[in-house]
Structure 1
């Protein structure tokens, strides 16, 4: 199952990009034998300042056709890392070809796009900067692959 992160904004060189690159490489390496990956990032940028609605249009074009859509949203479901790993494994086992994790911009995800999502996840009730959400998501994807593979990375 191919994994896509569709996000508003472009990461510049810096610690966030370094962390995402590291976790993406780890996920791809670990996930390959599990039928997970590759992990690809699709960045969109609303240069005309159209707000959430314009960002939603760009995000929708970045989401692969037929992909399961999972928005990252403060109103989403909070789950443990093992539960997230099981969810990812279930989607894979159901034969999903693609899953797209959608991260909005500074104002969040347009309600119309949120309504099209198959599911929504949250990293807690606090609001996180969208660039940090990318780092946290890439780490959790790697952690999920580690859990599914039985590797010792996750210690709970």
Structure 2
């Protein structure tokens, strides 16, 4: 990720997470939309640890609220499987990636650029951590 406000947003929240997240980037592919998805998807799948729970960030996935996301993380942690969040590039995720995913999740019904999704996901991971620790960062009383 290039330096800039998007990288700073991600770094701000990632620094607060325990343990800190690991990020693996795959190179941007060139070609037709289908070829880009295929190449980038192959890179994402190759980077996945064999026992990881692949969570595809996909518009067609479940869109939990923050408390629901914290609950999902708790269940995944209890199962002993580490969630690995898969963020597609500009052309989205290849069907092979969504097929491999153990869970599909959306950050709402809007389409977000992949470079913003990383920061938004880091903030939600931090929020989920705060919820699970009863930290006042998350204000559940707010509508």
TM-score surpassing 0.5? yes
Report if aligned partners of 2:29, 2:39 keep a CA contact under 8 Å in 1: no
Give the TM-score normalised by structure 1. 0.84
Match of 2:63 in 1: 78
Q: CA shift at 1:46, angstroms?
A: 3.3
Report if aligned partners of 1:46, 1:58 keep a CA contact under 8 Å in 2: no
Match of 1:104 in 2: 88
Structure whose residues are more often strand by fraction: 1
Match of 2:130 in 1: 146
Q: CA shift at 1:47, angstroms?
A: 4.5
Report if aligned partners of 2:87, 2:114 keep a CA contact under 8 Å in 1: yes
Match of 1:39 in 2: 21
SS of equivalent to 2:127: helix
Q: Where do 1:123-142 residues align within 5 Å?
A: 123-142=107-126
The CA deviation string for residues 79-101 of structure 1, in whole angstroms up to 9 with x for no partner, is: 100010011011111222x2100
Q: CA shift at 1:126, angstroms?
A: 1.2
Match of 2:5 in 1: 15
CA distance in structure 2 between the aligned counterparts of 1:47 and 1:126, rounded to whole angstroms: 24
CA distance in structure 2 between the aligned counterparts of 1:80 and 1:101, rounded to whole angstroms: 17
Q: CA shift at 1:71, angstroms?
A: 0.3
Alignment coverage as a number of residue pairs = 137
Structure 2, unpaired ranges of 5+: none
- Runs of at least 4 residues of structure 1 off by over 2 A? 46-50
CA distance in structure 2 between the aligned counterparts of 1:86 and 1:133, rounded to whole angstroms: 20
SS of equivalent to 2:93: coil
Structure 1, unpaired ranges of 5+: 1-10, 29-36
CA distance in structure 2 between the aligned counterparts of 1:47 and 1:128, rounded to whole angstroms: 19
